[in-house]
A = this chain, B = another copy of it.
């Protein structure tokens, strides 16, 4: 394959800052998960997608599996940071804060097929793998706490339903609609998902 005249000049990617290259690989992993599913998401394929040689993966991560785990952690972190950032400034008007939370959950950025597809892979890993389960658990706690903070400020007290139950139900609605939206964004478009969330919140937190 080497051209005849030259002594095997290697085309080499521009040397990038370690942090950049790392996050390139993390992003490529999410993209791979969505495009090719868990089965097609191999270390080599991720590197192909990221435009680097397969040897480089090992330079930044212990192994492909570890890359997957770190991708999960990164995704959780980014998502929570975003959700918390969106809702917190409006905590004075709880209705508005909750609304913005719903919008964020179904935003292009966080409810894209890419993200949700990857998310499902992680859910599944969480069932059989200790380390993935730990990440999932931590995420759940933080997300639950955020939701609790949001609804605990609602002006209308919930009627005859323990707070815990109400939060669990709202959380379930969010997850369920998330999947529904994932499976077909035409059948259940974003606006409808958000409207349904609002409706659920009204039913759960008003007398």
Interface residues, chain A, with chain B CB atoms under 8 Å away:
34-39, 113, 117, 120-121, 123-128, 133, 136-137, 140, 161, 165, 168-169, 171-177, 179-180, 182-184, 188, 192, 195-196, 199-200, 203-204
B196 touching A168, Cβ below 8 Å: yes
CB-based contact B117/A124 at 8 Å? yes
Copies of this chain per assembly = 2
A185 to B203, CA, bound (A): 27
- Write out the residue numbers on chain B whose beta carbons fall within 8 Å of the beta carbon of A37: 38, 124-125, 128
Q: What residues on B are CB-neighbors of A192 within 8 Å?
A: 168
Q: Determine whether the beta carbon of B117 is less than 8 Å from that of A120.
A: no
Q: Is the CB of A188 within 8 A of B203?
A: no
> Can you list 18 pairs linking A and B with CB atoms under 8 Å apart?
A35-B128, A37-B124, A37-B128, A38-B121, A38-B124, A117-B127, A117-B128, A120-B124, A121-B124, A126-B183, A140-B183, A165-B196, A165-B199, A168-B177, A172-B180, A174-B176, A175-B176, A179-B179
Query: What distance in Å separates the Cβ of A104 from its nearest Cβ neighbour in chain B?
Result: 18
In the complex, A140 Cα to B184 Cα: how many Å?
11
Task: Name the one of B137, B173, B179 contacting A169, with C-beta atoms under 8 angstroms.
Answer: B173
Task: Collect the chain B residues with CB atoms within 8 Å of residue A120's CB.
Answer: 120, 123-124
Distance A39 CA – B137 CA, assembled complex (angstroms): 23
Task: Output the least CB separation between A185 and chain B (Å).
Answer: 10
A124, A161, A196, most chain B CB atoms within 10 A: A124
